[in-house]
Structure 1
Amino acid sequence: MDIQGKVALVTGGATRVGKAITLMLAGAGANVVINYNRSAQAAAETEAEARALGVDAFAIQCDVSDWTAVQRMARAAIERFGGVDILVNSASDFTQTPVPTTEMDAWHRVTRISIDGTFYVTNALIPSMQARGGGAIVNIIDLSAWQPWRRFTAHAVGKAGMLALTRQFALELAPTIRVNALASGPVLPPDNHPQESIERVANRTLLKRWGTPADAANAVRYLIEADFVTGSVLVVDGGEQLT
């Protein structure tokens, strides 16, 4: 798919890696819909940066775990641009969920964003993509889809669910819509991450360093443009998976 002139929606597209993906798409010539939930100021800044690249951009608030809100977002995107060609499901919640627990709120919040949110947004935009002749979807996961992470049970289950949805959607939507996943490794430390933790993570990779948000964004671009790739997972982790 040629990104130039297309319309892309990025969930969680206002901050961190989602922002890098949004600006990559804008730089490649796509008009962008920037989904956010609570990051209104960051969304406005990302929208302005995208517009400065010469495309149309618009930020829209939506909790992707809310089906009714997702339907409203889809309608707004279609009314603004006539449809969507590219979808990147990047929204996530990195809250810890230790086991056992008596508090279920975190479990439900994390899994509803990753699993329900990915399903809801994709489901809402499929008819628009089909009406426009096809599309490309990329789901952002990480190594926890295969490897358990202590204290992050909901996160790992959510990413594994997104991986399953990637394959299922690829099967269901072929041949007009391609669906792939990016499994991103350490490309951007969490806010206020201690330096010793940053160094420890770097040493877990074969390349002994962190990547950058641009590494993830460029991998997303490949998956969008690669017309003979669907149902696949591209791992961009500096070799961390092998260690």
Structure 2
Amino acid sequence: MKHAFVTGVGRRLGFAICQRLLDQGWQVSGHYRTPSDATTTLAGRGATLYQADLEDADAVIAMVTTLQSSARLDLIVHNASCFTPEPDDLAAKARWSDACHRVHVQAPMLINEGLGALLQASDGDPNVVHITDIFAERPDPQYRTYTAAKAGLDNLALSYAKHWAPKVRVNRIQPGPILFLPEHSEAHKKRVLANTLLQREGGLDPVLDAIWLLIDNAYLTGAVIKVDGGRFLAQ
């Protein structure tokens, strides 16, 4: 049975990725930071879950060390993210910048380094998918620290695509406005969609479909799929 490890499974996209993997008969391991209804559901479906704060390198290493005892590993999806508005205070900026780097760059690097041997030992077509952001290439100055960290995650994928070729394929997905947060105002939603060519919220399914496209196409590595309704072009 193929085995996948997904980060950030406690809500939204990470939860949906695991649900589809389980539906398709995969063995699923998932990381989460905070327990939720989603983690309860996944555990009930047989997923193996690990609680860890990705800002804590020791916690990440401990999680990876446990995963190293897995019989096999065929897929890693780096989905976990950390996002809040850019703070104004310099001390707060320093803490926020450190958190962004640890979650989006350091933790994925530690996971890749720690689990790379398992991936390379797979007798299938092992894959890693980094879920980054359309602003990794065209940053939004309002969210400059977050987008810089996502650019780091984006570039990290390219490094591993080279490092692990030809055995392991590594690709990127850059989502746009797929699913607004509950705290987003109607004015914010209208403003974002006005700058999106398809002028509608995408939902999670287009991202899930893009992940499976990357998994199924054995001649893709170092590639990127923008799942953004054309927002990248409209900026």
**How does the TM-score come out when normalised to structure 1?**
0.89
Structure of greater relative contact order (alpha carbons < 8 Å, 6+ residues apart): 1
* C-alpha displacement of 1:74: 2.4
Output the amino acid matched with 1:86.
L
* C-alpha displacement of 1:31: 1.0
Residues 92-114 of structure 1 show CA distances to partners (whole Å, capped at 9, x for unaligned) of: 10122246723211111111100
Q: Please, which of 57, 73, 88 is the counterpart of residue 67 of structure 1?
A: 57
Q: Please, which of 22, 31, 36 is the counterpart of residue 35 of structure 1?
A: 31
Q: Does 1:93 align with 2:82?
A: yes
Q: Please, which of 207, 211, 233 is the counterpart of residue 216 of structure 1?
A: 207
Residue aligned with 1:102, SS: helix
Q: How far apart in 2 are the matches of 1:135 and 1:71?
A: 21
Conserved? CA contact 1:180–1:223, under 8 Å: yes
Q: How far apart in 1 are the matches of 2:82 and 2:230?
A: 24
Conserved? CA contact 1:98–1:151, under 8 Å: no
Residue aligned with 2:102, SS: helix
Structure 1 unaligned runs (5+)? none
Q: Could you say which residue in structure 2 is the equivalent of 1:241?
A: 232
* C-alpha displacement of 1:10: 0.6
C-alpha spacing 1:197/1:46, structure 2 compared with 1 (3 Å): farther
Equivalent pairs: percent with the same residue? 30
What is the number of residues matched between the two proteins?
232
* C-alpha displacement of 1:191: 2.3
Conserved? CA contact 1:114–1:158, under 8 Å: yes
* C-alpha displacement of 1:233: 0.7
Conserved? CA contact 1:24–1:218, under 8 Å: no
Residue aligned with 1:33, SS: strand
Of the structure 1 ranges 177-186 and 14-23, higher mean CA displacement relative to structure 2 is found in 14-23
Conserved? CA contact 1:179–1:230, under 8 Å: yes
Conserved? CA contact 1:145–1:159, under 8 Å: yes
Conserved? CA contact 1:99–1:151, under 8 Å: no
* C-alpha displacement of 1:151: 3.0
* C-alpha displacement of 1:123: 1.1
Structure 2 unaligned runs (5+)? none
Q: Does 1:19 align with 2:15?
A: yes
Q: Could you say which residue in structure 2 is the equivalent of 1:119?
A: 109
Q: Does 1:44 align with 2:57?
A: no
Q: How far apart in 1 are the matches of 2:175 and 2:153?
A: 13
Give runs of aligned pairs for residues 133-144 of structure 1, distance below 5 A.
Answer: 133=123, 135-144=126-135
Q: How far apart in 2 are the matches of 1:149 and 1:236?
A: 17
Residue aligned with 2:220, SS: coil
Give runs of aligned pairs for residues 160-199 of structure 1, distance below 5 A.
Answer: 160-199=151-190
